[in-house]
Structure 1
């Protein structure tokens, strides 16, 4: 909508830029509230259970050797810094990956006097190593973000530089699939082509640590060819969804009890599925009811010689999807 010309904008009942600003303001308010809950409620609650989330400055000193060995053996092989130069081709950031953005100065005195700051990015290899590292010990349970372990040993990644400052960033790319003409040509081939471009889509949201100085942010914006509308201020850490993999330290009593899916008695008999749905409409609500009912229905449809076609809309199926397997079987 931002790219609409004035004539087209006059036909809609709102101003796209005003709407975008309103959305960003609401997002900022929500992120502030999220940060407050995390720091003022969740962290203290964890500490009451002897679980301490520590960073590169607050970790217990006795764990330094463990962390250094872990970094050298596990982390360093997967870290590859890339220097930024806004006068060259923009560095490509992977979709939703976390990076540490660094401001550097060369260590050589002669070069340092005449050289300007340099900037670099280091990707956090969370997909390979996980986001959290549980520190060894029997009394208190200490855990660190992988980000902070890397922060501790940045000089080992860039030995020729002094690390002046370091901030976390994350870029989200447009994952939409745009097909101009759905009716001509091979639609499946067009969808496949669209899916292949999702990881390289145009930037739609650039999340950065709000403590980052304005000149630093300006350099990143220009180097990564971002627009002002892409920029969203955040906190020190991103991708909080990875807390699903937070160590439990065998404290099962702190976890929610699993909710067993409710049964649908009309569909309990797999062989009578078609008869049941011909007798009455059946509404299933997920995840409160078992999705096995849908799987069973599709499997039965795939095996039934009287079924002429199966039409279904799929959105974000699993890597090993039973639904897709049933459709392929059909």
Structure 2
């Protein structure tokens, strides 16, 4: 393993985010969608600074290993180059394209006379009440700049020509970031920042304005939670959430041109000594472009109405249909309503006695959780494995935990050392022959909102062998152990479960393909993941490549595997897809001498997924479902990077196929 080449996970992720940015540069992508990709790029980068940059800073300071040295500086260089490209795409492509449609986006320009009256009205009626100036003295330490909030540093001189430095907030958390003003037959898109800048003299009438600069501070977002008993864990998470926005500053983003003496004065006053000082563009928090105020359906992707995976007769029950056949829903191409129906039917079916479900990222207004609460209120035994530590969804999950408990749902919280990332649900109902199981096994969260733009796969099955293993897993989860012990041994034959058999089973499946290759028989592996980092599994793929196994991979984001290297990975190709939907499904296909085996599930091949989470992968057994999955993957493998315009993009092709 020491001679093998692995890419750095964080630099690989930055390459993925760059790929997101490149979508905004493509002329064939609808204009408003290009603006959304700029927003997604910016939002992704903010999270990177909150979550990963603190790690890279620490490694840069303390690591002596060659692998970790200089990654921090390399990451900064990559980001700087990408931000320059971001500005170029915006100013030289997106803004001119808007102007051609009589939409003037005022970007780093003086507001034209035509909008002055309307802008003044906005400032005095909507904006002024939300602005609170702060004076920064040299010894000022009481003011705390909140995480990812926008501020402006205002440099003034008073009547005695003394210099003053003021800080004012840009209230984009409570007001629109972008305003639309119509004047003289054109539409003007104006930043909230510029409306404030235009009227800042009103805030300081006795001073002369010398300069005004946009600023933002990004803070470490990691939560430090010790393992707690059930009654204490919510309090522990809430305590850490309250502290999250007060974490150590990791980035101080400033507008170009601010005089150095004032820059260092701000650094001293706001205790930003450990932050990376980054000179950005004229505007920050461009994730706010997601709320771009122009509305025009012609500038968006054409609608793809979700299709029905299966058609049920008026009186036909989904649960009864599942007893006859497996069903698979491919979101967002197909309608997620079938998942909602599963939970609703289970809640209302008098024969259903027990319902079990894992919940990771719950929708803000969740119909699924509502169904679980209804089932509990009607006397059914309902158990929800709720992950409180799903990053940036903690507060929403806490809210639902309280509501579910009040409704009678039994809540199981995972230990801090063992997150539950599996996406599974189990229904147990009585029948003439005894207990009968029905279940859902998915690659993505039970979340009806993200199902509209995440590509995922949900298997509806009554396979009793699979579901009895799922019941055994829920029994283990109820114990809330840090790790499985010998007493917790479960013979998983159908399911691949992290902490039990997932890694060993994948290694065995790769070994089997290697044996076919050594025997001179066709051997192939196709894997689709969000992220690929774990070195034992990557090394096994390298070994397989070296004996002739043909390996095709689709890896959306982090990829530490170096493909196409002689003597290491010459039989491996890696493909990345960025399109209108977020690729989220995990699929594993092993040729198996022509009798393909297909698995799907929640597990990426990251260290965290393999070693510190409960993940579930499941077999796809039904021949027709296997055929459909294979066809979907083939369409994506056939999409040639850089040639999207010469052939149908894979997501459109999949939509047409289903």
User: The TM-score by the shorter chain falls in which range?
Assistant: 0.7 to 0.9
Q: Pairwise mapping of residues 237-252 of structure 1 onto structure 2 (< 5 A)?
A: 237-248=283-294, 251-252=296-297
Q: For residues 115 and 216 of structure 2, what CA distance do their matches in structure 1 show?
A: 29
Q: Structure 1 unaligned runs (5+)?
A: none
Q: For residues 262 and 251 of structure 2, what CA distance do their matches in structure 1 show?
A: 17
Comparing both chains, which one has the higher relative contact order based on Cα–Cα distances under 8 Å and sequence gaps of 6 or more? 1
Q: For residues 306 and 234 of structure 2, what CA distance do their matches in structure 1 show?
A: 35
SS at the partner of 2:354? coil
- Name the CA shift for 1:261/1:23 in 2 (closer, same or farther; >3 Å): farther
Q: For residues 266 and 141 of structure 1, what CA distance do their matches in structure 2 show?
A: 46
SS at the partner of 1:232? strand
Q: Structure 2 unaligned runs (5+)?
A: 1-54, 377-658
- Preserved CA contact (<8 Å) 1:207 1:233: yes
Instruction: Find out whether 1:35 has 2:106 as its counterpart.
Output: no
After superposition, the C-alpha distances for 1:67-118 in whole angstroms (9 at most, x for unaligned) are 2232122211111111123413242223222111112222x22xx2xx3x32
- Name the CA shift for 1:182/1:29 in 2 (closer, same or farther; >3 Å): farther
CA shift, 1:267, in A, is: 8.6
The correspondence for 1:73, drawn from 105, 122, 125, is 125
Instruction: Find out whether 1:222 has 2:268 as its counterpart.
Output: yes
CA shift, 1:200, in A, is: 3.0
Q: For residues 324 and 82 of structure 2, what CA distance do their matches in structure 1 show?
A: 46
Q: Pairwise mapping of residues 164-175 of structure 1 onto structure 2 (< 5 A)?
A: 164-175=210-221
The correspondence for 2:236, drawn from 166, 171, 190, is 190
Residue 452 (structure 2) aligns with? none
Q: For residues 288 and 14 of structure 1, what CA distance do their matches in structure 2 show?
A: 41
- Name the CA shift for 1:230/1:268 in 2 (closer, same or farther; >3 Å): farther
Q: For residues 233 and 32 of structure 1, what CA distance do their matches in structure 2 show?
A: 11
Residue 15 (structure 1) aligns with? 68
Larger radius of gyration: 2
The correspondence for 1:290, drawn from 320, 335, 352, is 335
Instruction: Find out whether 1:45 has 2:97 as its counterpart.
Output: yes
Q: For residues 198 and 278 of structure 1, what CA distance do their matches in structure 2 show?
A: 49
- Preserved CA contact (<8 Å) 1:79 1:157: no
Give the structure-2-normalised TM-score.
0.44
The correspondence for 2:146, drawn from 89, 94, 110, is 94
- Preserved CA contact (<8 Å) 2:221 2:245: yes
C-alpha RMSD of the superposition:
3.1
| Residue-pair matches, total | 318
Q: Pairwise mapping of residues 114-153 of structure 1 onto structure 2 (< 5 A)?
A: 115=162, 117-153=163-199
The correspondence for 1:260, drawn from 300, 305, 311, is 305
Q: Pairwise mapping of residues 270-289 of structure 1 onto structure 2 (< 5 A)?
A: 271-273=317-319, 276=322, 279-280=325-326, 282=328, 284-289=329-334
CA shift, 1:147, in A, is: 0.9
Q: For residues 221 and 323 of structure 2, what CA distance do their matches in structure 1 show?
A: 36
Deviates more, 1:196-205 or 1:36-45: 196-205
SS at the partner of 1:298? helix
Residue 26 (structure 1) aligns with? 78
After superposition, the C-alpha distances for 1:46-69 in whole angstroms (9 at most, x for unaligned) are 000010012685333133223223
CA shift, 1:38, in A, is: 0.3
CA shift, 1:166, in A, is: 1.0
Give the structure-1-normalised TM-score.
0.82
Q: Pairwise mapping of residues 287-326 of structure 1 onto structure 2 (< 5 A)?
A: 287-303=332-348, 306=352, 308-315=354-361, 317-326=362-371
- Name the CA shift for 1:266/1:21 in 2 (closer, same or farther; >3 Å): farther
